[in-house]
Amino acid sequence: MQRQHEARGSLKPEVQTMAKTHHVKSSALDQIDATIEPMGPQPALRAEVDQLVKLNDIRALVALYDAFAAAAVTFQAIQNRPAADEVEILEEESADAWSKAFYVADRLKKLRPDVIDLEQYAAALFNCTLAMGNNLAEAVAVVNEINAWPKIERPAQQ
């Protein structure tokens, strides 16, 4: 558990430094930034994500984000086992999975969901904001911004 906390916690100062030195965040969604943990070339993944973005396939992008985030968490959980102390590749694989998840979320945030995809979309971006080391208030700000968007048909409150 300690390593998982250290890995996530190590992202927070970097996020703060970038925000202070490069630009002021104008949107809560700017918290989701793939440049925090760059993933490298990955041409097949980039091509697949590009295609899903062109198709505005929010469900598929959310599923892809969830898969990479789950893989990263799984690597971290196994890394925390005493028997895995000396297996350095687990940390690298976890970081690689997070970078892919962040890349997908960074592309996902540029799309606008319809009412059917709204909850999954907001949940993925909320979770990504936390995974990137931001605090709960920042993650809630992402959801609040999404909820404030016009032209999203919401079901009537009962």
Question: pLDDT value at position 150?
Answer: 78
User: Do the domain assignments include residue 153?
Assistant: no
Sign of CA dihedral 21, 133, 51, 54: negative
- Take residue 59 and report the two structure tokens written for it: 């469900």
Total domains present in the chain? 1
Per-residue pLDDT tens over the stretch 19-33: 333 344 567 777 677
Q: Is residue 131 part of a domain?
A: yes
Residue 155 lies in a domain: no
Mean residue pLDDT of the chain comes to 81
Q: Is residue 47 in a domain?
A: yes
For residue 157, is it within any domain? no
Pair 61, 53: CB distance under 8 Å = yes
Q: Is 87 exposed, middle or buried (0-12, 13-18, 19+ CB in 10 A)?
A: middle
Q: How many angstroms separate the CA atoms of 44 and 57, rounded?
A: 17
Q: How does pLDDT run across 56-109, given as a tens digit for each residue?
A: 999 999 999 999 999 999 999 999 898 887 888 999 999 999 999 999 999 999
**Nearest C-alpha neighbor of 28 from the set 119, 152, 146:** 146
Q: Which domain holds residue 107?
A: 2-148
Radius of gyration of the chain (CA): 16
The amino acid sitting at 22 is: H
Is 156 contained in some domain? no
In a domain, 34, yes or no: yes
Q: Is residue 99 part of a domain?
A: yes
The pTM of the full predicted model, rounded to 2 decimals, is 0.75
Quickly state the pLDDT bin for 2 (edges 50, 70, 90).
very low
φ, ψ (nearest 5 deg) of residue 26 = -100, -10
